[in-house]
Structure 1
Amino acid sequence: MAPQFRYAGPGDAEAVARLHADSWRRHYRGAYSDAYLDGDVLGDRLAVWSSRLAAPEGTRTVLAEDGASGDFLGFVHVVLDDDPKWGSLVDNLHVTAARQRTGVGRALLARAAAEAVAHASSPALHLWVLEQNAPAQAFYAAMGADHVETLLVGPPGGDPTRLNGTPAKYRMAWPEAAACAAQAR
């Protein structure tokens, strides 16, 4: 069954935070400290998402749900016109473990690009991916993104004890969000 999409609202904060925390625990181990990931990362993410979804000005959060069961499959969060050079930011894209590599991520990225095309003044789109996350880098490259910059990861919540060493992140960019949306079809 193809996923169905809708905008997230304040009542979705817990589901979004749960998936975000689970995804970080699965994919950010090594970059983020085990103490942080094994601790109250869910509480941290719930605070972030409760705030974001209560005041979504300048952002779009799109949820993917199973059309038959209504089960939550994933989400994408876009910050419109985040950067004067790089355009709108895909700030988060997470898919449940059971639905990875089934087209949900591709469809969510296409939705993010479409939101940027429809609502942003800049045509560009970008995101950050951890250096250690080679599968995600390959996915974004297959969707037409170029690796244009490398920086150090900032610690979650500004707390440096939440990082292991000095992990790096890559900026992946599309000069035209419309091209990203087209690549997803």
Structure 2
Amino acid sequence: MRGWKDMLIRKARLEDAEQIAEVHVESWRQSYKGIVNEPYLQSLKVEPRFKLWSQVLQNDHSVYVAQADGIVSGFASFGKERSGEFGIDGELYAIYLLDSIKRKGAGTDLLSVGVEDLLQRGFQSMNVWVLKENPSIKFYESFNPIKLGEEEIEIGGEKFVEVCYGWNNLKVLYELIHERIK
């Protein structure tokens, strides 16, 4: 566990599933407003996400939360790379933050603990998929990834481009993150 300012970064527990689900839905509504159509964003419900995160947290997982004033306000999830396309072994599945904690270091700290977790589990590299229109794409780009590919996906009946970024050396990424944290 690592705390800073008025926030705490820690490994998620099963009892966090509901708050993680709430952050998941609300952060989508905040982050993709004006990008993804509003009816789709409003159709997102906490209950299916709660079931998903309850299952994830019951298994061996690498999910971390950013807690502000005792409330989960962000989370990140890491694990084995899912596509097998790029010769990368680890993946950042998601970082979701409420607007109230964006640009305060929570994303960087969640990335740090997740990369450290992957390194401790023997992973050497990592990728992340991010919508090209997502303003947070600049966060990932600030850590000097390589662009591995793009694909077209559909959300709410609309087509979007998703970009895959990767880091071939997690140790180098970890050092870069810690230079920024200092």
Equivalences for 1:78-157 in 2 at 5 Å? 78-82=78-82, 84=84, 85-120=87-122, 122-133=123-134, 135-153=135-153
Which one of the candidate residues 52, 59, 75 is aligned to 2:56?
52
Structure 1 Cα separation of the partners of residues 7 and 172 of structure 2? 22
CA contact (8 A) 1:79 1:90 kept: yes
CA contact (8 A) 1:80 1:88 kept: yes
Which one of the candidate residues 162, 168, 176 is aligned to 1:175?
168
Structure 2 Cα separation of the partners of residues 132 and 41 of structure 1? 23
CA contact (8 A) 1:144 1:183 kept: no
State the TM-score, normalized to the length of structure 2.
Answer: 0.84
- Report the residue type matching 2:125 in the other structure: A
Which residue pairs with 2:156 in the alignment? 163
CA contact (8 A) 1:110 1:182 kept: no
Q: Structure 2: state its 5+ residue gaps.
A: none
- Report the residue type matching 1:116 in the other structure: L
Superposed displacement of residue 4, structure 1: 2.2
Structure 2 Cα separation of the partners of residues 2 and 175 of structure 1? 33
SS at match of 1:167: strand
Which one of the candidate residues 60, 64, 67 is aligned to 1:65?
67
Structure 2 Cα separation of the partners of residues 144 and 38 of structure 1? 34
State the TM-score, normalized to the length of structure 1.
Answer: 0.83
Moved more, 71-80 or 93-102: 71-80
Structure 2 Cα separation of the partners of residues 144 and 82 of structure 1? 22
Structure 2 Cα separation of the partners of residues 107 and 142 of structure 1? 14
Q: Residue 8 and residue 78 in structure 1: after superposition, are their counterparts in 2 closer, same or farther (change >3 A)? A: same
CA contact (8 A) 1:31 1:165 kept: no
Superposed displacement of residue 31, structure 1: 5.6
Which residue pairs with 1:158 in the alignment? none
Superposed displacement of residue 61, structure 1: 0.3
Among all aligned residue pairs of Structure 1 and Structure 2, give the percentage whose two residues are the same amino acid: 20
Q: Deviations over 1:75-124 (max 9, x none)?
A: 1100235455122111110122111001110111111111111113x300
Superposed displacement of residue 40, structure 1: 4.0
Superposed displacement of residue 16, structure 1: 0.4
Structure 2 Cα separation of the partners of residues 144 and 169 of structure 1? 18
Structure 2 Cα separation of the partners of residues 14 and 4 of structure 1? 18
Which residue pairs with 1:10 in the alignment? 14
Count of residue pairs the alignment pairs up: 172
Superposed displacement of residue 5, structure 1: 2.2
Equivalences for 1:34-53 in 2 at 5 Å? 34-53=38-57
